[in-house]
Amino acid sequence: MSASTLILLVLGLGLAGWLVARSRAAMFRRANGGKRIASLPNYHAWYAALWIVVPTLLFALVWSQIADNLVIQHVLASPAAADLPAFGMQRQTMLTEARAVATGAAPAVFNPAAADLVEPFEEALTRYNIIGMVVTLLIALAGGAWAFLHLKPDFRAHTRVERAVLSLLLIASLVAILTTLGIVASLVFETVRFFGMVNPIDFLTGVNWSPNPMTDGSNPDPERYGAVPLFWGTFFIGVVIAMIVAIPMGMMSAIYLNQYAAPRVRTWLKPALEILAGVPTVVYGYFAALTIAPAIRDIALALGVQNPSSESALAAGLVMGVMIIPFVSSMADDSIAAVPQAMKDGSLAMGATQNETIKRVLVPAALPGIVAGIMLAISRAIGETMIVVMAASATARLSANPLEAMTTVTYQIVANLTGEASMDSASTLAAFALGFVLFLVTLVLNIIALRIVKRFREAYE
Amino acid sequence: MADIADSPLANQANKSLEHENIETGEPKMRARDVDVYYGQKKAIDSVDIDVYTEFVTAFIGPSGCGKSTFLRALNRMNDTIPSARVTGTIELDGEDIYASGMDVVQLRARVGMVFQKPNPFPKSIYDNIAYGPKIHGLAETKPDLDNIVEKSLRRAGLWEEVKDRLADSGTALSGGQQQRLCIARAIAVDPEVILMDEPCSALDPIATAKIEELIDELRGRYGIVIVTHSMQQAARVSQRTAFFHLGNLVEYGHTSDIFTNPVEKRTQDYITGRYG
């Protein structure tokens, strides 16, 4: 019996429990002369259904994990398994083949030696299937009986159902948190391995970045892993250049949309601006690499710059700035809109012009929210990968000239992780260390931004 | 009407009677045949009113009667509501404030406003007061500005309470202090008329008493128009009272007359608490 049939069976039992419990609760009500009972019949029904379905599904989950092992153990204990090769690929293949035939997934074994194993497999599968099914049904019945015994006119089924819903919600939120923890743990694990080969201080302060993918873990050559040029490139492209574009443009568009635009204009412009946020970053990447970068090089040439790079930091930074505009503008828009109308009226009633009101009252009052928006935008910009992969260069360089080629943390993560180096070489592991540093920085930025936003909200509520 | 004449309200109104026969010059503001519309809806219907610098004018009436709407028409704050439209004439010193050549910014500097809920800017106390003088260029030097700030706070009766903490945020003051700060802020640009839209409705009785005292002190220097829900307050602080009902000006006259000897039945019903 397959897992899906089992699940259907459990759900069927649950439905049966639901209907029975509901009619029993309805009976209480009739017996009570149509007066109210402590909970609506539906809650009784859900109470019973949950007691049937949840424990059985939990058991099924656990059982599906251990049943396989039990089957294998049974097969290995059979006399036919004595002929199996002790270890290795062949043994594994034979077991897999025999299982495939036993479950009906394959018509016949390819390796005749595996044929003997088919029968023990069939035997074991049947046995554990029956055990599993019987236990499942028993649990379903026990759960149903337990629930049914609780049904009384004065039983408050709704609070129990409420609690079940609550735990469901809790589990849902835990999944996201646990996933994050898992990601962090895996990052930390690999980072620690990397720092076993390269001193963290060298990594964080060295200025020479030229990882050699051909070296293995035993000879990491720590001289080559100074990440400062990467941090600089990331900072220069994502924070300096991108923000020089994004902050003024974002602020000005937010102010225009919020304060000046006629409602009709606003209903068109605001979604249009938000579309910018929905453009896949790879498309921005094309744009940066194919349109902006050559244009910048041509302009630089025309201005008399010798040998301008065709992969300038400026191109990547400008396009990234455009990409970030909607983030800055929507946060700024929200914060300006959150400033109470009374504040604005107060300023206008003093004879301030619209412009003075915006400059001296609205923007200062909204500043915490705007700053928070900018920090979120920065953390987004320095984590941005596609644009820099397509438009920035692989050359690690410490330079303040925006026309030079520069590389970023994210670029190097991609380059080192997808390169030909083996998984335990220092150059691959360096990607994890870079990712970890990036993660920490964006985490701190986000935490600060969220705290500012929270304080700001409190100030106006 | 004997029952009305003996009521506590009437007594309060009579107390301010002594101020009522002051010589008046030309009205500071004159409204004639004013209609205010929100979209298609007529919120104010043909209102005539004079505002004098020598008197405090109170607007009373049940909620939604249009008194705040009319108040906001006096310094064109209704302009901030896109659907609002005003017809008729409102003159300030004989000049039509809705004329096309009128500078709204200048008008609002001359006709200041204090709102229902205290709305200090999230700046220091000093900067709250200095805001208006700065944008209107009223002070050449820092000492000038300091002077204006001190004078305004003194006039608003707040100086003694805040002189040692001018750098603190204006929002950190108590509700009553915030409202007096807002009055000081309005005074700082040296207006000719101050409009007050239920300035005490968010305040406790002690703070309310202080504001009322302040209004009485400011009378004569500035034309003051106050919208209030409290008839007692109107009786205590004003010398002229206008009773609005459903967008109409039902009765306008001496406060003591309105509260002791109203001409209109609707006025009498309202002040004796039959509706509203």
pLDDT at site B1: 43
Which residues are CB-contacts of A159 (< 8 A; sequence separation ≥ 6)?
none
What is the Cα Rg of chain B in Å?
A: 19
Task: Indicate the range of A307-311, A340-344, B148-152 predicted with least confidence.
Answer: A307-311
The first and second tokens of residue B99, run together, are: 């004329």
Interface contact A348-B80, CB threshold 8 A: yes
Q: Output the pTM of the full model.
A: 0.72
Interface contact A350-B108, CB threshold 8 A: yes
Edge-to-edge strands, sheet with B193-197: B111-114, B193-197, B223-227, B56-60, B240-245, B248-254
Q: Does the pLDDT at position A244 exceed 90?
A: yes
Task: Indicate the range of A60-74, A106-120, A122-136 predicted with least confidence.
Answer: A106-120
Confidence of residue A461 (pLDDT cuts 50, 70, 90): low
Contact call for residues B76 and B104 (beta carbons, < 8 A):
yes
Residue at A345 is within a domain:
yes
Show residues of chain B in contact with A348, CB under 8 Å: 77, 80, 108
Q: Does B151 touch chain A (CB under 8 A)?
A: no
DSSP 8-state secondary structure symbol assigned to residue A423:
T
Distance CA A336, CA B136 (A): 24
Q: In Å, what is the CA distance from B233 to each residue of B65, B209, B212?
A: 18, 9, 8
Q: Does residue A298 sit in the same domain as residue A372?
A: yes
Task: Give the long-range contacts of residues A362-365, CB within 8 A, separation 24 or more.
Answer: A362/A259, A362/A336, A363/A251, A363/A255, A363/A336, A364/B121, A364/B122, A364/B123, A365/A339, A365/B121, A365/B122
Q: Does residue A96 sit in the same domain as residue A220?
A: no
pLDDT at site B166: 93
Interface contact B105-A340, CB threshold 8 A: no
Distance CA A363, CA A341 (A): 13
Q: Does the pLDDT at position A422 exceed 90?
A: no
What is the Cα Rg of chain A in Å?
A: 32
**Which helix (H) or strand (E) covers residue A305, if one does?**
none
Query: Hey, is A405 helix, strand or coil?
Result: strand
Interface contact A345-B80, CB threshold 8 A: yes
pLDDT at site B201: 87
CATH number of A420's domain: 1.10.3720.10
Which fold, B27-119+194-271?
Rossmann fold (3.40.50)
Residue at A267 is within a domain:
yes
Q: Does B186 touch chain A (CB under 8 A)?
A: yes
Average pLDDT over residues A422-442: 87
DSSP 8-state secondary structure symbol assigned to residue A1:
-
Number of domains into which chain A is organized:
2
Query: Hey, is A399 helix, strand or coil?
Result: coil
Would you list which residues of chain A are within 8 Å, Cβ to Cβ, of chain B?
263, 340, 342-353, 356, 360-361, 364-365, 459
pLDDT at site A455: 78
- Backbone phi and psi for residue B42, each to the nearest 5 degrees, phi listed first: -90, 115
Among A344, A345, A356, the residue with its CB nearest the CB of B135 is A356
pLDDT at site B188: 93
pLDDT digits (tens, 9 = 90+) for A94-119: 778 777 877 777 777 677 777 777 78
Distance CA B89, CA B73 (A): 10
The first and second tokens of residue A397, run together, are: 């360089």
Average model confidence (pLDDT) across chain A: 86
pLDDT at site B9: 65
pLDDT at site A247: 94
Which conformational region is residue B157 in: left (phi greater than 0), alpha (psi within -120 to 50 degrees), or beta?
left
Distance CA A377, CA A74 (A): 58
Q: Cα angle vertex A73, ends A72, A77, to 5°?
A: 115
Q: Which runs of consecutive H residues, i.e. helices, occur in A214-357?
A: 228-234, 242-255, 263-278, 281-286, 293-302, 313-338, 341-349, 354-357
Interface contact A346-B182, CB threshold 8 A: yes
pLDDT at site B2: 45
Residue at A199 is within a domain:
no
Q: In Å, what is the CA distance from A315 to each residue of A232, A235, A394?
A: 16, 15, 14
Shortest CA distance from A342: residue in chain B: B119
Shortest CA distance from A355: residue in chain B: B135
Residue by residue, DSSP assigns A145-199 as HHHHHH--TT--HHHHHHHHHHHHHHHHHHHHHHHHHHHHHHHHHHHHHHHHHS-
The first and second tokens of residue A67, run together, are: 């049943």
Shortest CA distance from B77: residue in chain A: A349
Interface contact B105-A364, CB threshold 8 A: no
Among B82, B122, B135, the residue with its CB nearest the CB of A365 is B122
Residue at A344 is within a domain:
yes
Q: Does residue A230 sit in the same domain as residue A139?
A: no
More confident residue, A102 or A141: A141
pLDDT at site B73: 93
Q: Does the pLDDT at position A229 exceed 70?
A: yes
- DSSP lists the bridge partners of residue B31 as B49, B90
Residue at A173 is within a domain:
no
Q: Does B124 touch chain A (CB under 8 A)?
A: no
Query: Hey, is A221 helix, strand or coil?
Result: coil
pLDDT at site A88: 66
Residue at A139 is within a domain:
yes
Residue at A190 is within a domain:
no
Which residues are CB-contacts of B185 (< 8 A; sequence separation ≥ 6)?
A346, A350, B120, B128, B129, B131, B132, B152
Distance CA A211, CA A214 (A): 9
Q: Does B189 touch chain A (CB under 8 A)?
A: yes
Q: Does residue A129 sit in the same domain as residue A226?
A: no
Determine the residue type at B58: A
Q: Does residue A150 sit in the same domain as residue A250?
A: no
* Maximum CA extent, chain A: 99
CB burial readout B205-238, b (16+ within 10 A) else e: eebbebbbebbbebbeebbbbbbbbbbebbbbbb
pLDDT at site B4: 59
Low-confidence ranges of chain B (pLDDT < 70): 1-24, 275-276
Show residues of chain B in contact with A263, CB under 8 Å: 82
Which of B123, B135, B185 to mutate to test binding with chain A, by most A CBs within 10 Å of its CB? B135
What domain range includes position A443? 213-459
Residue by residue, DSSP assigns A254-282 as HHIIIIIS-HHHHHHHHHHHHHHHHS-HH
pLDDT at site B134: 92
Q: Does residue A258 sit in the same domain as residue A398?
A: yes
Cα atoms found within 13 Å of the Cα of residue A154, Cβ hemisphere only:
0
Query: Of B31, B34, B29, B30, which Cα lies nearest the Cα of B88?
Result: B34
CA dihedral A47, A51, A54, A57 (to 10 degrees): -140
Going B95 to B246 to B205 to B130, the CA torsion angle's sign is negative
Distance CA A28, CA A25 (A): 5
